Amino acid sequence: MATEISGTKRPGGRTERTRLAALNATLELLGERGYAELTVEAVADRSGVHKTTLYRRWESAEGLVAAALLMGTEQEWTAPDTGSLEGDLRGINLELVHYFTSPGERELPTASISAAFLSARAADALREFYVDRHARSAVVVDRAVERGEVPAGTDAVEVVRVACGPIFYRLFVSREGVSKKDAATAAEAAAAAAKAGVFTAANAGTASPPA
């Protein structure tokens, strides 16, 4: 999830320092208070950026949250490279479990998901974050294809979605919690399905249409 960014793709300068101060303060407050309790005034107090500047650039607390969530696309993040698809997917899942369950870290990603249910702009930003993260994760499937582990034409992003899906289901739908064992099981299942060719174009949409 989006976290404080120490280095970004953008150039430096006063404008960039202001942006980082405001959006990092937004992330801190989002994790501490949640979306419903976050205000422009609180961000101004925390960041030292005058509230008139915040309103002029981001318009509202909703705008600040959306921009802050998009900062996650600026993170230096690469997918694991363990030498096997199952190992790489397990690594991705274990990272998810860590960030969503560790005290002191789980508050921000959990609040980010909650914000997406309350704000259309936050939902759009979170969706863009995961589009970026899925694209970066897809390399684990591309490498598996090169090794001959899975068939050519495997939908890499769909493999990642299926591997990670059970983590989010347990956390946010069934609310039953999630463990490292759950992460490993989901990774194993997704890798096995990929090896069986489930995610190739030849198998896409093979279910019978409704009568």
pLDDT in tens, 99-157: 999 999 999 999 999 999 999 999 999 999 999 999 999 999 999 999 999 999 999 99
Per-residue pLDDT at 204 exceeds 90: no
Q: Are 154 and 199 in contact (CB under 8 A)?
A: yes
The amino acid that residue 192 corresponds to is: A
Mean pLDDT of 156-176: 96
Q: Over the chain, what is the mean pLDDT?
A: 91
Give the pLDDT score at 201: 83
Cα 14 to Cα 113: distance, rounded to the nearest angstrom: 31
For residue 8, report the phi and psi dihedrals to the nearest 5 degrees. -130, 175
Per-residue pLDDT at 3 exceeds 50: no
Cα 88 to Cα 184: distance, rounded to the nearest angstrom: 10
Among candidates 39, 40, 36, which has minimal Cα distance to 55?
A: 40
Name the 3-class secondary structure at 57. Answer: helix
Tokens, residue 139? 């390399």
